[in-house]
Structures are given as C-alpha cells and as structure tokens.
Amino acid sequence: MKDCVIVLFGGTGNLAYKKLYPALYKLYERNLMPNKFVILSLGRRNIELVEFKNIVKLKIKQFSNGYNEKVLNGFVDFIKYQILNFDKINDYVILKGRIDDCVCSEKMPQNRIFYLATAPGYFEIITNNLELSGILDIKKDAYKRIVIEKPFGKDLAEAKSINKTLRKVFSENEIYRTDHYLGKAMIQNIMVLRFSNALFEPLWNSECIDNVQITVSETIGVEERGGYYETSGAFRDMIQSHLIQILALFAMDVPNSLETEDIRNEKVKVIKAMKFFTNKDIVDNLVLGQYEGNSDVKSYVDESKVNPNSLTETFVAIGIDINNKRWKGTKFYLRTGKRLKKKIAEIVVEFKNTTVNKFYYDLLKNKDNAVNSANLLRIKIQPEEGISLSFNVKKPSTDNIIVQKEMDYCQSCDIDMKSPEAYEKLIIDAISGDQSLYARWDEVEAAWSFVDKISKTCLDRSRLLKKYKSSTWGPKEAELMMKKNDLKWWSK
C-alpha cells in the first residue's frame, strides 16, 4: 500500500468524528495503514492542533469499539489541522503549501486522497478550487483520488452536474462514491453465499423465488438533520442509495470475474432493468409515511428545521419489478423508515411454495396443525450479522405434522468472526485503489433516473403520505400492500 496524504474536508463534522477517525484509528491499530501517512483535517474553526488532537481522541474513545491509550496517542501524531473555507481560493493555496511540506518533511510520494465528508452542495466548489489552486498537479507516478459521500445531489440533474464537475479533473477510476452499506460485512457476503455454495445459485431466479424483501429500519428520528432531510426524505436518503445498491448486488447475474468493473457491469444492468413506475404502480406498489410522536418523542413535523406542514416521507415501502429473464415475476419489496419498531437491516428471500410442497401438504390427513410454509432465507446485515434458513420438518411422535424450523448461523456471535466497521473496509479500499465497493457513475445515474421518475409521478403527496405512530412498523397501508398479494413482511 502506497504512502499518502489524506486531506479530510469536513474534518470537524459529525461523520468525521463518529465514523472516519474511529475507522482510521482501527486501521492503524490493526497495522493496516501505509508506513507513512498524514491526515490533514480541514475545518472552519480556528483550533490549536493540541486541542484538536484531544477532541479527536475523545471522539475515538466515544465511538470506537475499544481502544488502547498508547496506540491512540501514536495515531493522533499523524493528524494535522488547517482552517479552510470551502469557497476561499487563498485557503487552498495555503493548503497546497501544507501538503507539499508534509510530502517533503516526511519524504513521501505525492499521493493524495481528498475525502469530502461534507454536504453535496460543496462538492463542486471544492473540486473547482482544488483544480484552480494547483493541488491536483502531481507527478505522473503519484495518484490523486477523491472520495465523496452520498447523497450525490438531490436529484438526477444535480447529480449530473456534480459528476460533470468531478470528471473535468478526476477520471472515473479516481472517483470513489461511498455507499457505506457496501462496506458492511454481510453485504460483502452476498456474493460468497451465492457463488461458493452449490445450494443457492441454481435457485436464484423467479422460478424458485417468489419475492425478496429488503428492510432497513431505524428507531431514531431525523435528529439534528431536519434541514437536510427536508430536501431528501427517506426515498432519496435510503432507497436511491443503500437499498438499491443491496438489491443490485443481490439480483445481478454472475459476473465474468470478481474484478471491480465486471461486478459493476452486472449491478448496473439490474438497476437499469428496474421497471419504471406507472400511475397504477404508485397506487399498488408504493407507500409513503411520516412519523407521529408520542409522550417520549417528537413528531417529524415538530423536529428542528422541519416545515410544520412538511409532506416529506420518513417511511417508504415499495414493490419493484425487474425486467429481465432471471427475475420476471419476482417482486422486490424494499422498506425503510425512521422511528420504526426496531433497528434492523436484512434481506429475506421467500422461496416459492413448490408443487411438491403443496402436493405433500394435500396428502396430509390432519392439516389442522400443519404449516404449509415456503422456505425463507434471511441474510441478516445488522445489528445481528448472520444467515438463517427455514425449512419444514415432521414433528416427532405425530402423524406427519409439519412444523417450520430454522438453521441459524450467527456471525456476530462468533468471536473469531468479528466484523470491522463498514468505514474501515471502505477507507482501506480507497487507500489501496480498490473501487469494487464504491458505486460507479452509471449505477448512481440509473438509480436517480428510477427515483426521479417516481417523484415526478407522485404529484399528489398530501393524498399519498400516511401518518404512522412512532415505534411501529409504519403505516398500515404497508401491510395492506403485501396482504393484497397474500404476502406479509417477514422482518419484525
């Protein structure tokens, strides 16, 4: 792994404190960082370096899963701080000098990673100023990379504009579009599960799978992010990125190889094959909700920086068809929301109740206590990580009574299988130049096209948006949407 300077825009922000410094620290603790590196943190406040290092140490103690005081002190020695206003070109000229000094004094190559842990509204101004200040002029044998956080804009037009600006100065293989769900351990397990087990891949199609349910639910509200959330809502915040990415990885065809571009080529085909919504689909296959408070928590409309008459959705349930040979006839149900009953992220695959299964059931003399259930495969992403498979067995000492049981593998219960945080994996990949877990532009573009089309079709939001009580599974319409098709949500 090549030595590098990591320039962290938004170095005093929430994301940096809660996720990025703890992840960088863990990589350092596990000896995974390059021999020489510098983290040059940028912020708007004038803070002494000593004070800043102390803040970072505190945050790492608070948000990291364990730490060692001595290692932590060693880690913060790699941090430097500079005050920078995103729109002041002079600050970038000073930044260039700082980077050059680091490279010189540490005898490092000119490799640099620009990590934009900022709102997307700043991506373009930062990129333009990086170019104007000459920071991007480096030797041929060095690399420059830019890491940007989701959301990539608030709609397709904005995403295109950001991408155009980025592409003026960075090539596609220098742009790392983060979707932190792709860094989660069980998401990376999807391909292994499919392709390294004879059991699953032959069944991964609409002949054998009735429906796939992807649930990412949260118990928290919008917290201090009301301003941002008003411009995004759950659809843009979660469906456009995390849930569509999970769907693509789950549903893609077998890639030619495990090389980054081959995987991305297959993912993008799935996203492009998602059937656009008609007005009828809006009625049949989409539920939008907004949470109401109770004695403990506020309603969404009472949260800070939220319009009291807001029609922004904090819950989405959507049924998507994929127009390709493998999936014609299998529905993909995605569900996400805030202030729901439980924090959970999982994929549940409901296999078809096959003819054999039904035939056997029909033969039973006593059906009263017998279940006639399809097999379910659960890929548990968080908080528990693992995989379970339900199947039908005969209850002992009965006359063929069938009951459903589970084979359960709990990865997070296994001490030897402890997963790193998503950001650890993503950062190390950015440093070593592996883009497999980052989204390519055409994937992002296709996901935005799908989402934008729905936003344009759902014009009558006041009619569509259903209120739901906090700590429930969202509006009852989400249950009804499934019930109409004789289905139910399996994640509870």
Contact set with ligand BG6 (CB under 6 A) = 150, 218, 237, 345
User: Is 151 or 351 the residue whose CB approaches ligand BG6 more closely?
Assistant: 151
Residue 218 annotated in ligand binding: yes
In whole angstroms, how close is the CB of 241 to ligand BG6 at the nearest point?
7
Residue 476 annotated in ligand binding: no
In whole angstroms, how close is the CB of 345 to ligand BG6 at the nearest point?
6
Residue 264 · residue 441 · CB < 8 Å: no
Residue 18 annotated in ligand binding: no
In whole angstroms, how close is the CB of 244 to ligand BG6 at the nearest point?
13
User: Is 218 or 350 the residue whose CB approaches ligand BG6 more closely?
Assistant: 218
Strands (E), 34-164: 37-43, 79-83, 112-116, 144-148
User: Is 118 or 133 the residue whose CB approaches ligand BG6 more closely?
Assistant: 118
In whole angstroms, how close is the CB of 322 to ligand BG6 at the nearest point?
24
The values of phi and psi at residue 14, to 5°, are -60, -45
Residue 467 annotated in ligand binding: no
In whole angstroms, how close is the CB of 178 to ligand BG6 at the nearest point?
9
Residue 184 annotated in ligand binding: yes
Residue 121 · residue 12 · CB < 8 Å: no
Distance between CA atoms of residues 217 and 340, nearest Å: 6
Return the H-helix or E-strand segment holding 289. Answer: strand 286-292
Pick the catalytic residue: 59, 145, 242, 267? 242
User: Is 16 or 370 the residue whose CB approaches ligand BG6 more closely?
Assistant: 16
In whole angstroms, how close is the CB of 83 to ligand BG6 at the nearest point?
27
User: Is 212 or 222 the residue whose CB approaches ligand BG6 more closely?
Assistant: 222
Dihedral sign (CA 116, 118, 123, 126): negative
Q: For residue 34, is the peptide bond before it cis, meaning its omega torsion is within 30 degrees of 0?
A: no
Residue 141 annotated in ligand binding: no
Partners of residue 398 on adjacent β-strands:
none
Respond yes or no: is residue 488 known to be catalytic. no
Distance between CA atoms of residues 81 and 8, nearest Å: 9
Residue least distant from ligand BG6 (Cβ): 237
177: Cβ contacts below 8 Å, ≥ 6 apart: 148, 150, 152, 438, 439, 440, 441, 444
**Token pair belonging to 382:** 């968080």
Residue 219 · residue 294 · CB < 8 Å: no
The values of phi and psi at residue 229, to 5°, are -65, -35
User: Is 110 or 299 the residue whose CB approaches ligand BG6 more closely?
Assistant: 299
How many other C-beta atoms can be found within 10 angstroms of the C-beta atom of residue 428?
20
Residue 51 annotated in ligand binding: no
In whole angstroms, how close is the CB of 147 to ligand BG6 at the nearest point?
15
**Token pair belonging to 114:** 């620009």
As a dihedral over the C-alpha atoms of residue 351, residue 447, residue 219, residue 27, rounded to 10 degrees, the angle is 100
Burial 440-452 (b: 16+ CB within 10 A, else e): bbbbbbbbbebbb
Distance between CA atoms of residues 145 and 148, nearest Å: 10
User: Is 121 or 255 the residue whose CB approaches ligand BG6 more closely?
Assistant: 121
Residue 69 annotated in ligand binding: no
Distance between CA atoms of residues 71 and 28, nearest Å: 8
Catalytic residue positions, numbered: 242
Annotated binding site: 44, 150, 180, 184, 218, 237, 338, 343
Annotated binding site for substrate: 180, 184, 218, 237, 338, 343
Annotated binding site for NADP(+): 44, 150
